[in-house]
Structure 1
Amino acid sequence: MGDEPGLYYDYEDQRAVLPKEAFEFQYAAKGDSQLAVQIAAQLQHRGFKPVLERRGFDHAVYVPMILMRPQADIPIVQMSVLRGETDIESTELNIQLGQAVESFRDRGYAVIGSGGSYHDFQAIAKAYFENKFVPAESSAFEDFLESAASIQDPKARAKALLGWRSLSSSYLAHVEGSSEHLMPFMVAAGSGGGHGGVKFDMYTHKGATMSQYIW
């Protein structure tokens, strides 16, 4: 991670169908190479195999940060989520990743998970163009996330979250093959330690609910 990372438009292959404004975002936040090295050392100590890369901030960073901190005056270290052989293995790995960086949270750094509690954009687009709503059953998945996130005991919270694919509503919120968009939530939940997560905001569009949590 460099100290002047710039931006990386990670949807370049969609240039033909996206508005030109999607490629005009600017966000001049700095990186923090020294902090990145510290994080990598901690991850290695916890059994991970981190790779330090020089890559610009992708849309998972600059889209929320433009809204949260338009001044771009806070250094950022971007991290990738992990992918296992199954959704449950991915969940376990990313909870463990969050647990590994919990000590940085305790030192005053913010661990921000940028993903989506709902991420079936095809269903949203279909509902939008047909003037309908996504299946109401998807809201049951939000109820599950809120209940599991609020558990204070970290082991019990992790156990509850590992069961997310047992809910039929999970396939409405995250279709097969798209679970990586939920994994930032799992990292944040893992970093929460002995604190229960609190839902502090929720956005609804065409019946799809997308929530934000804080630990």
Structure 2
Amino acid sequence: MAQVFFIPHGGGPLPLLGDPGYARLASMLRALQPRLDGSKAIILVTAHWEAEQPRLATSPHPGMLFDYYGFPEESYRYGYPAPGAPDLVEPVVSALAAQGIGAQLDPERGFDHGTFVPMMLMRPEADIPILQMSLMSSLDAERHLAVGRGLAALLDQDITLIGSGFSFHNIQALIGRSRVDREAGYALAKSFHDWIDEAVCGEGLRADQRAERLAAWETAPGARFCHPREEHLLPLHVCLGAAIEAGMAVTKIFGEPVKGYQTSGYHWQAA
């Protein structure tokens, strides 16, 4: 079944470590496990990898990349032995080329925590091949929508697309060091997510209007408070571009506060 997910993956390994602030997020990710049944492979766009052009991890047996610091020792011993998906590399390169987007190959890159943290919860069996894919370092919203439009061509082959980011990613706020008062920050996050939810899920919007709104995400109330830097939001642009191109219907699958700040997740499938 063709499907697309945008998921918030949390802060570092905290969803795996049982941090109470991430309990509802971790529970949602675990509940997605059966929805991946029947997926032949996963294309996973991670917020924790950027390159000039979309970069693809081509190893048939990716290792682990512990790209965080200051966490308990156990969080550096995780393993996620899902195979890579080298057979998907050529089709993805061709699909991106159709949008005028080049791609780079990386045979060394392992699974970063934008991949292995949510996947350990969503698919602990590690039985589905994963092609890990980077963002573009330009962080251009329109170009990431175009990446999604290209990837849509592959979704009718029982391939699942996952955008792994975080719809609220102000680290200083999450660790309690924001210059903005906490209650004011909660209100800004709520306003931003109301705007994003309307753009993604609101009734009465045409597909092109959804794309236009997400391309202009910086105009949303609270946008730059929620995303001082937008890399954790852009996987959503890839997902929306693919889902629109494939004519999919959307369901909101997460709408809970994380550490007090509103957060959203979405699932698209054939209408």
TM range (shorter): 0.7 to 0.9
Q: Which amino acid aligns with 2:95?
A: Q
Distance 1:92 1:158, change over 3 A: same
Which one is further off, 188-197 or 90-99? 188-197
Aligned to 2:62: 5
**After the TM superposition, which parts of structure 1 deviate over 3 Å for at least 4 consecutive aligned residues?**
132-135
- Counterpart contact for 2:186–2:262, Cα < 8 Å: no
Secondary structure of the structure 2 residue equivalent to 1:79: strand
| 2:73 corresponds to which of 14, 17, 20 | 20
The equivalent position to 1:181 in structure 2, one of 205, 209, 232, is: 232
Equivalent position of 1:102 in the other structure = 152
Percentage of matched positions with identical amino acids? 33
SS at match of 1:65: helix
Q: Distance in 2 between matches of 1:208 and 1:196?
A: 26
SS of the residue 1:191 aligns to: helix
TM-score in terms of structure 2 length:
0.70
Distance 1:26 1:203, change over 3 A: farther
Counterpart amino acid of 2:223?
A: S
Q: Unpaired segments of 5 or more residues in structure 2? A: 1-57
Q: Give how far 1:198 is off.
A: 2.1
Deviation, structure 1 residue 195: 2.9
Residue of 88, 95, 107 corresponding to 1:42: 95
TM-score scaled by structure 1?
Answer: 0.87
Are 1:118 and 2:168 counterparts?
Answer: yes
Q: Deviations over 1:90-110 (max 9, x none)?
A: 111111000100011222211
Q: Closer, same or farther in 2 for the Cα pair 1:113/1:102, shift >3 Å? A: same
TM-fit CA distance, 1:196:
4.2
Q: Give how far 1:197 is off.
A: 2.7
Query: Where does residue 68 of structure 1 map in the other structure?
Result: 122
The unaligned stretches of length 5 or more in structure 1 are none
User: CA offsets, 1:174-205, max 9 Å, x none?
Assistant: 11xx2011001110011102334321122313
Q: How many Å separate the matches in 2 of 1:206 and 1:6?
A: 31
The alignment's C-alpha RMSD in Å is 2.0
- Map 1:119-198 onto structure 2 (within 5 A): 119-126=169-176, 133=183, 134-150=185-201, 153-175=206-228, 178-193=229-244, 194-198=247-251
Separation (CA, whole Å) in 1 of partners of 2:151 and 2:231: 19
- Contact map agreement 2:252 2:264 (CA 8 A) in 1: yes
Total equivalences in the alignment: 203
C-alpha separation in 2, matches of 1:200 and 1:135: 20
C-alpha distance in structure 2 between counterparts of 1:160 and 1:73, whole Å: 37
- In structure 2, give the amino acid aligned to 1:169: G
Deviation at 1:127, TM superposition (A): 6.8
Greater fraction of residues in strand: 2
